[in-house]
């Protein structure tokens, strides 16, 4: 199966995918994020990702998800690399994110893209999360 990752402002599609992948209670205001959608060769949305500016030189990889039927095709790594490339071209120096501790697929993908574990000054999601950082230069 072939997949394409493209920038989008189609917030309705992002909201629908977010709900399908994460369920109720995990809503995001995508208008405050830079977003991409992943479509299969039939032009069906199967995943999405986003980042959000936190400071003048840091972006937060805020959300990413892939529908179960499209998992295992390396899309998480592709979405991470897409966001890092965009952040670099926009002049950001660093990307941060977090994962839950019981999601080895996500943290393995982050490690493949050069992210390292770190302890933030402020654990903005809570101490039970793993925090990741990647310097872009």
What structural domains and CATH numbers belong to the chain?
A: 3-135 (3.40.630.30)
Is 86's pLDDT higher than 90? Answer: yes
- Please write down the long-range contacts of 50-54, taking CB distance under 8 Å and 24 or more positions apart: 50/14, 50/83, 51/83, 51/86, 51/87, 51/95, 53/92, 54/96
Q: Write down the pLDDT at residue 82.
A: 98
pLDDT, tens digit (0-9, with 9 covering 90-100), for 15-67: 999 999 999 888 899 999 999 999 999 999 999 999 999 988 999 999 999 99
Which residues, at least 6 apart from 79, have a Cβ–Cβ distance to it below 8 Å?
Answer: 5, 36, 38, 47, 49, 64
Q: Average of pLDDT values for 109-123?
A: 95
Average pLDDT over residues 111-136: 94
Which run of H or of E encompasses 20? helix 11-22
Residue 87: the pLDDT is 97
- Which residue(s) pair with 6 in the sheet? 37
- Per-residue pLDDT band for 1 (boundaries 50, 70, 90) equals confident
CA distance linking residue 103 with residue 57, whole number of Å: 28
- Mean pLDDT (the chain, rounded): 95
pTM to 2 decimals?
Answer: 0.94
């Amino acid at each position: 199966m072939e997949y394409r990752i493209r920038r989008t402002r189609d917030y309705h599609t992002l909201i629908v995918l977010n709900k399908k992948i994460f369920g109720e209670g995990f809503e995001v205001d995508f208008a405050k994020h830079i977003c991409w959608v992943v479509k299969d060769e039939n032009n069906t949305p199967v995943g999405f990702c986003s980042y959000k500016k936190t400071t003048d030189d840091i972006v937060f990889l805020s959300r990413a998800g892939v529908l179960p039927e499209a998992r295992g095709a390396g899309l998480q790594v592709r979405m991470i690399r897409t966001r890092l490339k965009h952040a670099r071209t926009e002049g950001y120096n660093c990307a941060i994110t977090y994962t839950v501790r019981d999601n080895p697929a996500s943290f393995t993908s982050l490690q493949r893209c050069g992210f390292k574990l770190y302890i933030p000054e402020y654990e903005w999601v809570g101490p039970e999360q793993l925090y990741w950082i990647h310097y872009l230069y």
